Structure 1
């Protein structure tokens, strides 16, 4: 549950920035871009290779209050000289657009699902993934709770919507 709370705190802060409720709006003028390469494990096999394209540039707040000559933004499409609408939340920049909103909403929904499932685990005293017998007992215990089935279906729905958000974020510009 603590992991769900941590992810939720990060997600809500990021979602508030993505939808314009927090952060400083402005423009990042791209000076240069680079590709960071990393591997998901230590054996450096080709299928484990991941790349993140990062662009560095000058941020200027829309109201002229702040300027940052060297901050980065992850972007697959930005080119040198591009002016990108972003929001600065104090620690990083989020590109303005539907993809950022979908991604941050997916993070919040994943957190909600984790918290609801954790609540069910605590309320029933069961860990459903240990053995099949416990799995059946967990579902029976949920049915006995007044709001157990509603909480379970809400958790499943939040997780499915979160997955949809991650997929949309990857497809949107």
Structure 2
């Protein structure tokens, strides 16, 4: 699946490079991108032998990346607000998140995304890979379950859509 996508991408770039050198017209970056994208689309439309799962995986990966960027910005603003608010009392907690993910890659990706988000850090994964322990800087006592649910519905759900 990944090999087919990489093969299509390399083929598209190679054919685009050959066409640009053959025609010997100087293209802008946007035009080169359009040619590569058009050839990639042609390969996708002509491929009935392979499953289109790699395009769904690519789309799921892009979705995860945009979700992470959104969470990164929101978390940064939340931490800045906490720092600039005088007299704000942090309510830190160590949470135990039950995992639905099974593969080492998926669990590692989730742990790294949690750690990269400001205000949280992954501490440990249980030996049986059923629980992930992480520290969160500020969570009210009544919102502990909501904090766990946000990670499950956010990061974990999007990681599960990536067939890795």
* Superposed pair shares fold, TM > 0.5: no
Structure showing the higher strand proportion among its residues: 1
TM-score normalised over the length of structure 1: 0.31
TM-score normalised over the length of structure 2: 0.32
Structure showing the higher helix proportion among its residues: 2
